[in-house]
Amino acid sequence: MSTNNQIALTGATGFIGTTLLNQLTQAGWQVRALYRPKKGRVPPTLTNVQWIAGDIHDQNTLKTLLAGTYAVIHCAGVVRGASREDFDHVNEEGARRVAAAAALANTSRFLHISSLAARMPDLSHYAGSKWRGEAAVKNAANNMRWTILRPPAVYGPGDRELLPLFKSMAKGFAPLPANANGRFSMIYVDDLAAAMVQWLISDAGDGKTFELDDGRVGGYDWDAVLAIGGKVLRHNAGKIRRVPIPITLLKAIAHANFGVSQVLKYAPMLTPGKVREITHSDWVCDNNPITQVIGWQPAFSFEQGLASIFDNNLKA
């Protein structure tokens, strides 16, 4: 571990950032955590955490956040939006600003949390923004040592994106795209956070982009997910019934949601681009490169992770 144990963290109040913040402080790091101030919002008082109020687009905020830090972990990002600009403003331009400010502050290392979607940037505005964000970090880094992580679907306590599906599975049914026969990887949020901490400790991985998952070779298909879900959430009381949603209907709903979001001015999750993402045939990762370089290995299988979510979220 570096003798300088000051870490800057963006996205500290998000789903991934909250878990990472806990693991960083437990590992002995001093963290400056950025949060966006909102009316009445007061971040929790945590040992070894200094909260910095502000925005990643504000140069003075970034100067305060980054001064004297050993490394930056950039977790901030957006997953909902209607237009390319909605995503690029944070996922590309925000990443560029943070990386440029870190380089100017002479921060030694930069870890950028991207997404497996960046593998296929033409699928959606979100995927493209994550790919452009990676390029922005590389271009702004100068002599700073950067690493990029591309996690697949991340789940765990506090997740709001997959929780509705898991709740349905607990009730015995799962609404899924019809003929969705692709394969995909997943990762439990604690494992992703542990990989980031191990990146810090290992002092390795410079100039590399890693994909990482829960270690299941070849990933999952929906049959495997439903079988595991039946065992964990239904306690073998019965199989989970797959409710197929025709792709044409899913696309129609996505287009309608997109149109309504334009009128009501909200950031939609289900868009035509998101449909292309979730029906893509191959979102499988390979842990071998990151394990060989930094020594990290996942600790949670999907069965273990799902059980943890059930204990924390689904009993109510």
Looking at residue 263, its pLDDT comes to 84
pLDDT tens-digit readout, 169-210: 999 999 999 988 899 999 999 999 999 999 999 999 999 999
Rounded-to-10 torsion of CA 89, 95, 98, 101: -100
Looking at residue 234, its pLDDT comes to 78
- Kindly state the helix (H) or strand (E) to which residue 89 belongs, with its residue range: helix 84-91
Q: Please check the confidence at residue 315 and state whether its pLDDT lies above 50.
A: no
Helix axes 93-104, 59-66, angle to 10 degrees: 50
How many CB atoms sit inside 10 A of residue 228's CB?
19
pLDDT tens-digit readout, 216-273: 999 999 999 999 999 998 776 678 999 999 999 999 999 998 888 888 888 888 899 9
CB 174, CB 242: distance < 8 Å:
yes
CB 109, CB 66: distance < 8 Å:
no
Domains of the chain, first to last:
6-156+186-213+285-298 (3.40.50.720)
Looking at residue 181, its pLDDT comes to 84
CA angle 196, 158, 14 (to 5 degrees): 55
Looking at residue 236, its pLDDT comes to 61
- Compute the distance between CA of residue 201 and CA of residue 67 in angstroms, rounded to an integer: 21
pLDDT tens-digit readout, 115-133: 999 999 999 999 999 999 9
What percent of the chain shows pLDDT beyond 90?
Answer: 82
